[in-house]
Each structure stands twice: as C-alpha cells, then as structure tokens.
Amino acid sequence: MKLIKYFIPLGMIGVFFYFAHVITGELLWKEYNPITMDISSLTADGAPNYKLLRIINFPYGVFYVLFAFGMVLKSLRSSNRILKTGFIFLLVMEVISILGYALFPLTGDKSEMNFQNSMHLAVTALVVFTTIASGFCIAIGYRKFGKTRTIGNLTLLLAVLITVFGSLNPINMAMDLNILGLTERLCIYTVQVFIFVLSYYNTFIQKEI
C-alpha cells in the first residue's frame, strides 16, 4: 500500500508539533512552572492561550494516529505476531489519546475531582498501559531477528525508561513532592523519543519488514 510510505514519516513531524505546543505554552504563560505543573495544564479549560495551544496540538494527534496506522499496515506484511501486537497497541493508544484528551481536558481547577477531571485521569491510565504494552511488544518483536536486534535493544531501553519514569508520577503524588511537571516530562518526553526513533528507523533504515 503506497500510503504507508507517507504515513510513517508523520511520526517524526508529530513530535515537532508536540514540542511546539509545549514550548509555545511555556513561553506565553509567564507564571507557568514546568517543574511543578503538568503539561495538561497548558491546554486545560480556562488556561492562558489554551485555544491556541489546542490548535497547535491537534496536528500532533492526527499525525501520530496516521503514523501508528501506517506501522500496523506495515507489520501485517510480517509473520512477527508480537510486533504486530505492539503496533496495534500503539494505534489503540494514539486513538484513545487524541479522542480522550479532546473530550475530557482538565478543568480550570484540576484538584477538583469532577466528572471531566476523573475521565481525564482514566484516559491517562489507559494511555500509560497501552504505551508500556506497545513498547515492550515492539521491542521483543524486533529482538526476535538478528537484522532488527539493534532497534529492538534501543526500543527495549526506551520501554524500560518509560515504565520507570511513569512510576514516578504516582510516587510524586503520594509523597506530595510537588514535582509533577518534572516526573511527567521525563516519561512523556521519552515517549516522544520512542515515537521519533520508530518513525525515523522505518522511514530511512528499514523500509520493508
């Protein structure tokens, strides 16, 4: 399918849009503290410039879904079932992310556990689970064959880091360390590296499975 070669590079482009919305939000909101405040606060209802940031962030979600869809189509050509499962998990994660966060952004007072904020947390839990599942499945799938063992080792390292960094968020909240912005960024930025690496590798290095 010719569309695959156009879908897969969108992962790299999506990463740039993601960081564009974060950097723009931090520059425009002078009181924003990236160490103590989570990224979702930038696009929460009522946040400064949240409408602009949601516009910037929208292509990121679309590009990621198309990238993941392209990787699913590409993996279907392979007999590697674990790799297929990993990319299906990745596609599910991206769909949940783009729809869930669009439908349930944080409200102005994120400490209030209303329906919208509760659903936002539920979406986050699903995103975390599917991200970790996809990371390990993709890594194990790549490691099954010698020619893809290097990318398998790299994705395995990133999957472990995502899991470790992701566990810091509940620890931070339980111990009231007030560094949610830092711990969240460690996890999410590693996810962005993971996506970029997969997109780059499958665009320029391994064009066929």
DSSP label at residue 40: G
**Predicted pLDDT of residue 177:** 92
* CA distance linking residue 52 with residue 96, whole number of Å: 22
Distances (CA, A) of 136 to 35, 60, 117, 140: 28, 23, 29, 6
Q: Contact, 74 vs 8, CB < 8 A?
A: yes
> Does the predicted TM-score (pTM) go above 0.85?
yes
Count up the domains in the chain and report the number: 1
Contacts of residue 24, defined as CB under 8 A and 6 or more positions apart, other chains included, come to 49, 52, 53, 56
Residue 85 has pLDDT above 70, yes or no: yes
Split at pLDDT 50, 70, 90, the class of 16 is very high
What residue numbers bound the domain in which 158 lies?
4-205
**Predicted pLDDT of residue 67:** 98
